[in-house]
Amino acid sequence: MTGPVTFGGAGTSLRIATVNINGIRATLRRGFGDWLRERGCDVIALQEVRAQADKLPGGAFDEYHAALDTGSVPGRNGVAVLTRQPPAAVRTWSGAALLAGPSASGVRPSASNGAPLLTEVPAADSVVLLRGLRPFADQGRYIEVDLADAPVTIASLYLPKGGLPAELQRPERMREAPDGGARYARKMAFMAAFSTYLTRTRRAAAAAGREYLLMGDMNIAHTRQDLAAWRRNQQNDGFLPEEREWFGQQLGPRTLVDVVRSLHPEEDGPYSWWSWLGQSFANDAGWRIDYHLATPRLARSARWAAVDREVAGTRLSDHAPVIVEYGV
């Protein structure tokens, strides 16, 4: 795309989604392939792909080009960005990316005939990883691509879930064994380092003439509007005051905008995660922890947002896709 670009016009649009699929094989069984074909998204950010290259099902991403960082631990984490056109550039924290072409191109994962599952390529070398993020570099938590058909950099993030600080840990209230605050400290260290990284990469996109859009599972409900049962979760991870304060610090009229909240300023939710247990989903007692955070000009171009709670009556994951249409 050449020449000046105006966002928010009456011309073309980009339909962009983010979804934590909680395992590519599981979500395909629940109808993810049908959703991909029918929803008409131009770009999709995925989190928790949870499959190494040799375990990805054939045709998993349908007619999309997929850039992935699966991470080094089988069955854990993994992020991807799906695009209609091959990305102009890919950047990962590990320094390498996996690229898959559309199913129709013949680049199909196939362990049975010995064909390459994916193409492994060096990622762009412009990423200078902060010391605080180096322990996370091989975990498959962040990937970004430059779109080839629009001046936008798209990032997919899976922020660590974390835990409670030691002083709030009560064994009788916890599903996981007390860890003395280790998971909490790990999440806080990640957030502190990522804040600096986020500023750098947003500015790098601007210097290249690109808007920046960070999407993903942030594992934080920012405000009371973002959590149905906020009163009884004020001392639970994901809604701790320090987590919410950090989230707010990433936002601003000149930095990043919470796009869905800007479109729905007075609404509770729309939630994007519900527990599999009990009646949380039926009662819409969820959390809004999956976000589109965009640079201001791109955010102003947003026309509508939607959450696909179900596909043909089935949940794709414990998360639901969050979709925004942007004018370009």
* CA gap 128, 23 in Å, rounded: 29
Cα 285 from Cα 232, distance rounded (Å): 12
| Rounded Cα–Cα distance for residues 144 and 142 (Å) | 7
Burial of 6 (0-12, 13-18, 19+ CB in 10 A): exposed
Structure confidence at residue 53 (pLDDT): 87
Q: State yes or no: pLDDT of 275 exceeds 90.
A: yes
Distance CA 45, CA 157 (A): 8
pLDDT of 322 strictly over 90: yes
198: Cβ contacts below 8 Å, ≥ 6 apart? 214, 250, 256
Instruction: Tell me whether strands 13-20 and 43-47 are parallel, antiparallel or unpaired.
Output: parallel
Residue 302 and residue 261: Cα distance in Å, rounded? 11
Q: Are 142 and 172 in contact (CB under 8 A)?
A: no
pLDDT band at 171 (very low <50, low <70, confident <90, very high): confident
Nearest alpha-carbon partner for 99 in 137, 59, 69: 69
Of 314, 129, 301, 160, which Cα lies nearest the Cα of 324? 301
Give yes or no for residue 254 having a pLDDT over 90: yes
Q: Provide the pairing of β-strand 65-69 with 79-83.
A: antiparallel
- Report residue 270: phi and psi, to 5°: -65, 130
- Residue with the bigger pLDDT between 52 and 173: it is 52
Structure tokens at 59: 């045709």
- Residue (of 124, 142, 121, 146) closest to 133 by Cα position: 142
- Predicted confidence band of residue 235 (pLDDT cuts 50, 70, 90): very high
Q: Superfamily assignment of 13-327 in CATH?
A: Endonuclease/exonuclease/phosphatase (3.60.10.10)
CA–CA distance from 113 to each of 108, 117, 287 (Å)? 11, 10, 44
Nearest to 68 by CA among 36, 85, 45: 45
In 37-151, at which residue ranges do the beta strands (DSSP E only) sit?
43-47, 65-69, 79-83, 89-92, 96-100, 119-122, 142-146
Question: Could you tell me if 65 and 86 are in contact, meaning their C-beta atoms sit under 8 angstroms apart?
Answer: yes
pTM of the model: 0.92
Rounded mean pLDDT, 240-258: 98
Position 119 pLDDT exceeds 80: no
| Euclidean distance between CA atoms 217 and 232, whole angstroms | 22
Phi first, then psi, for residue 138 (nearest 5°) are: -100, 20
Helix (H) or strand (E) holding 323: strand 322-327
The single-letter code of the amino acid at 77 is N
pLDDT at 266 over 70: yes
Neighbouring CB atoms inside 10 A of 197's CB total 18
